[in-house]
A and B are shown apart, each in its own frame.
Chain A
């Protein structure tokens, strides 16, 4: 019972640690914006902490340069479980304008398991807050999951019955 209480309290008291992994500072400024009184992230129980030991959420910005990758891995290990990773900004999502560049790994998910992606260059503070709200279950997802596949011959035949009737 106590364990379940702890699990239920987790999304209501997320403490975030902000890691810059080669970002241009654009995303950092927007992350700091979210924590200003204007957006008031504390009403969701979100707090910025200065130590990974206190953190529940890693906000990672930047395309992850080769230099910073080992440090990022150690940072992830320093966070006590359960933990979430947010990739903030186009660079962190998939490399952005540094895609396939020699000096970056191109995205946080090359190093850490990422739970939420927040695209944008930089993402607006509203977008970051929205992503957190989606993560906490406060807001619905705007984009539904969609899967694409090749139709089978039977499905094609069912979709065009008149043609098959017209045949010899």
Chain B
């Protein structure tokens, strides 16, 4: 029993380390790739680490007093790390016993909600616009995520992420899961805050939106949380919808998963470079259509395809 707990704690530490340390590295690779597509040299791959170190060493200027506001960046990062514990990375999720895909959906929403609350609390016009856009994106992307995960649950007959993963490995690719996977990828683009769906931050338009009033360490924690979130979602995508081939050996599976997540994020970066930003109403319309299309996956799953 105690050995089991030790393994779980080890897995938890590993998942947190992957989410914390690999996320800036993947972001660095994405930035390098973006620079290459612009015919630039671009920053070194370690640039996000440098950015984080610099921001952590800067002065913390706060616009608003209050405990929740002060704790919001740490809570955001914490919620994303909790999400990392619910996602399988090469093997079972360390916190899998505590929650299934429904808990996962709720935990995934916490970081966006905290970001939104911080934006509204700071009460600048750009922050307010960014916060409301964040809310609208959350409202339109969440149904897509829910439907795609429910497709998995329906096919496998289980709500646990590990159950869906095992069913996928056993039964191979299916029509409904492929459609759900594509819909999940489109939702990932918005969850990662990349073009064409970076309406909430929109650096050239509303100057970072919800993050506009955040300085120094607070900005660092928010950025770190967002990068970790995009990596965790990419890992969730490859684990639930593309888990093949599965060796059954944990280190090999972990490395393969991380490589597949890198490929997914590279795709995200390419889509980011070649697309202009959509308006918020276009984004919502787009995801409404994606949500309805992913209902097709649900229909396919019901008739057993």
Residues of A near any B CB (own CB < 8 A): 2-3, 5-10, 12-13, 37, 40, 42-45, 49-51, 53-54, 56, 78, 80-82
4 closest cross-chain pairs (CB), A and B = A6-B57, A50-B207, A9-B53, A80-B59
Residue B208, interface by CB 8 Å: yes
Task: Other than A12-B50, A49-B208, A56-B54, give 5 A-B pairs with Cβ distance below 8 A.
Answer: A6-B56, A9-B54, A13-B51, A50-B206, A54-B214
| Chain B residues positioned under 8 Å from A8 (CB to CB) | 53
Select which of A2, A51, A81 is within 8 A of B212 by beta carbon: A51
User: Smallest distance from the beta carbon of B102 to chain A beta carbons, Å?
Assistant: 36
Question: Which of A3, A43, A45 has a CB less than 8 Å from the CB of B40?
Answer: A43
B60 near A80 with CB under 8 A, answer: yes
A6 to B57, CA, bound (A): 5
How far apart sit A2 and B220, CA to CA, in the bound complex (Å)? Answer: 15
Chain B's closest residue to A81 (CB) is B59
- Binary flags per residue of B35-62, CB closer than 8 Å to A gives 1, else 0: 1001111111001011101111111110
Interface residues of B (CB under 8 A from A): 31, 35, 38-44, 47, 49-51, 53-61, 126, 203-204, 206-208, 211-216, 219
CB distance from B207 to the nearest CB of A (A): 3
- Given A37-B39, A37-B40, A43-B42, the answer on whether A54 and B54 have CB atoms closer than 8 Å is no
| 28 sampled A-B residue pairs with Cβ under 8 A | A5-B53, A6-B58, A8-B53, A9-B50, A9-B54, A9-B57, A12-B47, A12-B50, A12-B54, A13-B51, A13-B55, A37-B38, A37-B40, A40-B40, A42-B40, A43-B41, A43-B43, A45-B44, A50-B207, A51-B208, A51-B212, A53-B61, A53-B215, A54-B219, A56-B54, A56-B58, A80-B215, A82-B58
Do B61 and A42 have beta carbons less than 8 Å apart? Answer: no
Closest B residue to A42 by beta carbon equals B43
Q: How far is the CA of A44 from the CA of B42 in the complex (A)?
A: 8
Could you say which residues of chain B place their CB within 8 Å of the CB of A5?
53, 57
Give the CA-CA distance A13 to B208 in the complex, in Å: 18
- Taking a contact as CB atoms closer than 8 A, the residue among A10, A37, A45, A78 that contacts B57 in the complex is A10
| CB of B165, distance to nearest CB on chain A (Å) | 38
In the complex, how many angstroms separate the beta carbon of B152 from the nearest chain A beta carbon? 39
Complexed CA–CA distance, A34 and B49 (Å) = 24
Q: Nearest-CB distance from B25 to chain A (Å)?
A: 15
Residues of B within 8 A of A80 (CB): 58-61, 215-216
CB A54 to nearest CB in B, in angstroms, measures 6
Please measure, in the bound complex, the distance between the C-alpha atom of A111 and the C-alpha atom of B11, giving whole angstroms: 55
Chain A neighbourhood of B39, CB < 8 A: 37
Q: Which residues of chain B have C-beta atoms less than 8 A from A13's C-beta?
A: 47, 50-51, 53-55
Q: What chain B residues lie within 8 Å of A37 (beta carbons)?
A: 38-40
Complex contacts, B211 vs chain A, CB 8 Å: 51, 54
**Distance in angstroms between the alpha carbons of A159 and B152 in the assembled complex:** 93
> What B residues does A2 contact at CB under 8 A?
56
Asked if A42 meets B212 with Cβ closer than 8 Å, knowing A6-B56, A80-B60, the reply is no
Q: For the complex formed, measure the closest distance between the CB of B303 and the CB atoms of chain A, giving whole angstroms.
A: 50
User: Which one, A44, A49, A53, contacts B213 given CB within 8 A?
Assistant: A53
Per the bound structure, the CA–CA distance linking A13 and B203 in Å amounts to: 17
Q: Are B35 and A40 in contact (CB under 8 A)?
A: yes
- Distance A5 CA – B50 CA, assembled complex (angstroms): 9
Residues of B within 8 A of A50 (CB): 203-204, 206-208, 212
Closest to A77 in B: B61
Q: How far is the CB of B151 from chain A (nearest CB, A)?
A: 40
Q: Which residues of chain B are within 8 angstroms of A43 by Cβ–Cβ distance?
A: 35, 40-43
* A12–B44 alpha-carbon span in the complex (Å): 10
In the bound complex, how far is the Cα of B46 from the Cα of A5, in angstroms?
A: 14
Chain A hits for B61, CB < 8 A: 53, 78, 80
Interfacial chain A residues near B56, Cβ < 8 Å: 2, 6
Distance between A53 CB and nearest chain B CB, rounded to angstroms: 4
Cβ-neighbour of A3 out of B55, B57, B126 (below 8 A): B57
- Are B50 and A51 interface neighbours, CB within 8 A? no
Interface-central residue, B44, B49, B206, B215, by most chain A CB under 10 Å: B215
Please determine whether B219 and A53 come into contact, CB atoms closer than 8 angstroms: yes
- Tell me the smallest distance from the CB of B158 to a CB of chain A, in Å: 44
Compute how far the CA of A49 lies from the CA of B212 in the bound complex, rounded to whole angstroms. Answer: 10
CB closest chain-B residue, reference A46: B43
